[in-house]
Amino acid sequence: MYEGHFSLRETPFSITPDTDYFYPHEALQSALNTLLIALRSGEGFLKIVGEVGCGKTLLCRQLLKTLQGECITAYIPNPDMGRDDLLMALALELNVQLPVPISRHGVLSALHACVLEHNQAGKRVVVCIDEAQAIPMRTVESLRLLSNLETEKRKLLQLVLLGQPELDTKLAHPDIRQLLQRITFSEYLGPMLPDRVPFYLEHRLSRAAQGAHTDIHVFEAASAAAIARYSRGVPRLINVLAHKCLLLAYGENVHRVTAEHAGLAAKDTPGVVWSVPWWRRWLLSAPRRPTGLNETVAIRGIDSGSGK
């Protein structure tokens, strides 16, 4: 809609995870580095936990992209399935030929033979399970069985779990403590720092630009700061707010996004956090007591912004 107005070849702030727009802010780069170092060191079980919208799926796709040609990789985006179904899904991802009739023992044996063959050829096998907090308790046993695929020297299968904080709660259950003990590296994926948001906005605009003539300094400093404040650094919310800001600027036929645009976008977006003025925080925290007429009028005057 507004792509031509800003000389863009595509919408720069889609919420669909796209590695072409990967921006290595501190939290995301730290998580990626941890995964790469641990996997290349031969660690068998890794975990990434992050809040909603902080980029776990993008991290997963960037990891798989980085490991391309170095490892045999498999990706399971939705592990909310039965224990045998999870093994079957992994077998399909790895193009494993399954014996007939199909049984759990047969699938595990075929998986073991597959990963052993890859390891003998010098290729590690890495499995990424996204939205891991959705794994049913009865299916977690399958993960333990997969973690048993090893030789005397090394793990044959490396597992990466990525999920919301509920994943930690699930793994803390006493019935699966054996699995928790096998997780050797764990990292928290947090939001973006406020001072990174302006660079993030320009990065995505530059990736979507039609050419060198495209102006990527569309967001004024005040608008970028407002977006950082309203989103609390959550990349998904940043994208939603930035997209709405560009729509507003396009509707006004201007080429700069202002703090006013950011405020209007925030009012239209669920999940943003509104900053409470210091005087309102003070009023809300002050002990409640009867007030006289004059004091009541004064407070209402402050509240309404009249200053009287």
Q: Place 210 in a pLDDT band, splitting at 50, 70 and 90.
A: confident
Cβ pair 111, 96 in contact under 8 A: yes
The residue behind tokens 């039609």 is: 210
Is residue 197 within 8 Å of 233, Cβ to Cβ?
yes
Which tokens is 55 given?
A: 């980029």
Q: Report the share of the chain in percent with pLDDT over 70.
A: 89
Domain locations along the chain: 26-189, 194-267, 281-308
Q: What pLDDT is recorded for position 115?
A: 92
CB 301 within 8 A of CB 307: yes
Residue 219: φ, ψ to 5°:
-90, 120
- Please determine, for residue 178, whether its predicted confidence score (pLDDT) is greater than 90: no
Q: Note the residue count of the chain.
A: 308
Pick the CATH number of 26-189 from 3.40.50.2300, 1.10.3720.10, 3.40.250.10, 3.40.50.300: 3.40.50.300
Dihedral, CA atoms, 145, 150, 151, 156, nearest 10 degrees?
Answer: 150
- Cα separation, 19 vs 67, in Å, equals 13
Q: Count Cβ atoms within 10 A of the Cβ of residue 113 and give its class: 0-12 exposed, 13-18 middle, 19 or more buried.
A: exposed
Q: At what angle do helices 221-231 and 235-251 cross, to 10 degrees?
A: 140
Question: CB count, 10 Å around CB of 233?
Answer: 22
Q: What would the pLDDT profile of 243-272 be if each residue is shown by its tens digit?
A: 999 999 999 999 999 999 999 999 999 888
Confidence of residue 286 (pLDDT cuts 50, 70, 90): low
Predicted local confidence at residue 98, as pLDDT:
86
3-state secondary structure of 280: helix
* pLDDT per position as a tens digit, 91-111: 999 999 888 888 888 998 999
Q: How far apart are CA 261 and CA 272, in angstroms?
A: 15
